[in-house]
Amino acid sequence: MADVRRARLVVAYRGTDFRGFAPNQGVRTVMGELVPAVSKVVRQPVELSMAGRTDAGVHAWGQVVSGDVPAVTDLADLQRRINKMCAPDITIRSVEWAAADFDARFSATSRRYRYHVWNDPAPNPLLHELTWHVHRPLDLDAMQAAAEPLLGEHDFASFCRRPKTPDGMEPASLVRVVSDATWSRVDDTPMLRFEIAGSAFCHQMVRSIVGTMVDIGFGRIHHTKMAGILGARSREAAGGVAPPSGLVLWEVGYDGRRWDAG
Amino acid sequence: MADVRRARLVVAYRGTDFRGFAPNQGVRTVMGELVPAVSKVVRQPVELSMAGRTDAGVHAWGQVVSGDVPAVTDLADLQRRINKMCAPDITIRSVEWAAADFDARFSATSRRYRYHVWNDPAPNPLLHELTWHVHRPLDLDAMQAAAEPLLGEHDFASFCRRPKTPDGMEPASLVRVVSDATWSRVDDTPMLRFEIAGSAFCHQMVRSIVGTMVDIGFGRIHHTKMAGILGARSREAAGGVAPPSGLVLWEVGYDGRRWDAG
């Protein structure tokens, strides 16, 4: 096989018509389209690592993917050709050479997600696929107050779908560090945005947090209960799970060392 | 027939999956869905007038529609039921009683459109259906300079698809008044927005203007040529026609008198 070199791709996709990210027999997935496209362009099979798995219907703006391609590859040409093959649902936003031990998933030190709620009696047909339509008025101040207890290091078991533990194994830790959790209104419109960043997120964590916060925004749960819900470390303590349409993997961070190839 | 009363509806829709606005045998259109939905809810046939015709693929945020419904109709209930029937592509944003002689089309005194261009080498999969992807860099200052000659009253024949004139009839006037024509960049992103308002617009006028301005933004046409293109009053003088995906009928104005029912 020809000399290979590690490449790093920043990928955006509209998750609406995908059944998730990982390759999966018989259903349309992001990796199920991306891996064959890259392999076709570089004319050899490639394996790709991805920073954050996204569920069916979840979007990405700054998903990061890494893998080895022939060292002679013209990256700008690779990007153009993949973007033609994968349009309009998947786009390579940028591509660059990375250090040989860069791994999109294991080198990642932080992830940032955005969740959009369209909070108006009338739905928004233009942004239907990118939002959760919540028709009853939400109390943004109460939702922001409920975001404060999430900051710092906690066991997020109340907001996570716990992975199956094989016999005789320790259950996986659900301890995560959240560094930002902020609600805002976009440009005086009915669009509400929740931005959350942290070390890593367990399965359905952002959607469970948003679902519980929307219950708080309705007044169904008082915002002072949030610390107790988190402390309960039980899925039963939390509210509902917000739909995938409102969620975007916004950015992945790689702090701590230089991962570029130079 | 029961007593009727004039109602005024503000309608938003995602034009992507519609073949235009007017009812049309055998194809999906906005009026082809809206008229039967309203008729079904009020249990009698209704006729609706609309402020601005939109071509296949063009969106609306503030389309206005009027028609007579039974005076006993509960408008809030009408809105909720139509929104359920027409989701997710069409939404009644608001509905109210109007003066008996209010006509969404003939009472309108101004229309405002927005056109969005995603100006980046990489397409944006999240906003693909709401934008025109232009990958080469555009000169926003040149495009804004080209917008100035459009202001005021002009014959816009260079930018209009001229309607067929029946034998022996005067050709329809293409004189229109443009009161605003402004380019801006949205939040420091690659998204460029053109906003244009005027008395009325002839067929394909906004898309032809945007197409010509993008040619100016490339440097293919110098911005000082815009006044001459307008003055030529000929389709041959203008540039291309921008695709419908970027266009939104944003707002319709009814100045000059009170059209509400009170």
Q: Which residues of chain A have a CB within 8 Å of the CB of B188?
A: none
Q: What's the pTM?
A: 0.93
Give how far B163 is from chain A: nearest CA, Å.
Answer: 30
Q: What are B162-176's pLDDT values in tens digits?
A: 777 777 787 789 999
B81 touches chain A (CB under 8 A): no
Q: Which residues of chain B have a CB within 8 Å of the CB of A12?
A: 122, 124-126
| Structure tokens, B163 | 């309607």
B9 touches chain A (CB under 8 A): no
Q: Are A129 and A16 in contact (CB under 8 A)?
A: yes
Number of separate helices (H) and strands (E) present in chain A = 5, 10
Q: How far apart are CA B253 and CA B108, in angstroms?
A: 6
Residue of B nearest to A95 (CA): B122
Nearest-by-Cβ selection for A126 from B59, B79, B123: B59
Hey, how many other C-beta atoms are within 10 angstroms of the C-beta on B13?
Answer: 26
Q: Are A143 and A223 in contact (CB under 8 A)?
A: yes
Average pLDDT in the B23-38 region? Answer: 90
- Over the range A146-164, which residues count as b (16 or more CB within 10 Å of their CB) and which as e? bbebbeeebebbbbbeeee
Q: Which residue in this structure is represented by tokens 């940032």?
A: A112
Active site residues of A: 55
The answer to whether B74 is a known catalytic residue is: no
Q: Which residue in this structure is represented by tokens 């419908």?
A: B244
Nearest-by-Cβ selection for B12 from A61, A90, A125: A125
Provide the pLDDT for residue A167.
79
Q: Are A33 and A86 in contact (CB under 8 A)?
A: yes
**Element (DSSP H or E) covering residue B182:** strand B175-185
- Residue B23 pLDDT > 80, yes or no? no
B124 touches chain A (CB under 8 A): yes
Q: How many CB pairs under 8 A join A and B?
A: 60
ipTM: 0.90
B193 touches chain A (CB under 8 A): no
Q: Which of the two residues, B163 and A220, has the higher pLDDT score?
A: A220
Q: What are B92-119's pLDDT values in tens digits?
A: 999 999 999 999 999 999 999 999 999 9
Going by pLDDT thresholds of 50, 70 and 90, the confidence category of residue A108 is: very high
Going by pLDDT thresholds of 50, 70 and 90, the confidence category of residue B22 is: confident
Residue of A nearest to B81 (CA): A122
B93 touches chain A (CB under 8 A): yes
- Residue B256 pLDDT > 70, yes or no? no
Going by pLDDT thresholds of 50, 70 and 90, the confidence category of residue A171 is: confident
Contact between B122 and A83 using a beta-carbon 8 Å cutoff: yes
Mean pLDDT of chain A: 94
Contact between A88 and B126 using a beta-carbon 8 Å cutoff: no
Q: What are B199-252's pLDDT values in tens digits?
A: 999 999 999 999 999 999 999 999 999 999 999 999 999 989 999 999 999 999
Q: How far apart are CA A76 and CA A85, in angstroms?
A: 14
Mean pLDDT of chain B: 94
Contact between B122 and A14 using a beta-carbon 8 Å cutoff: no
Residue of B nearest to A128 (CA): B88
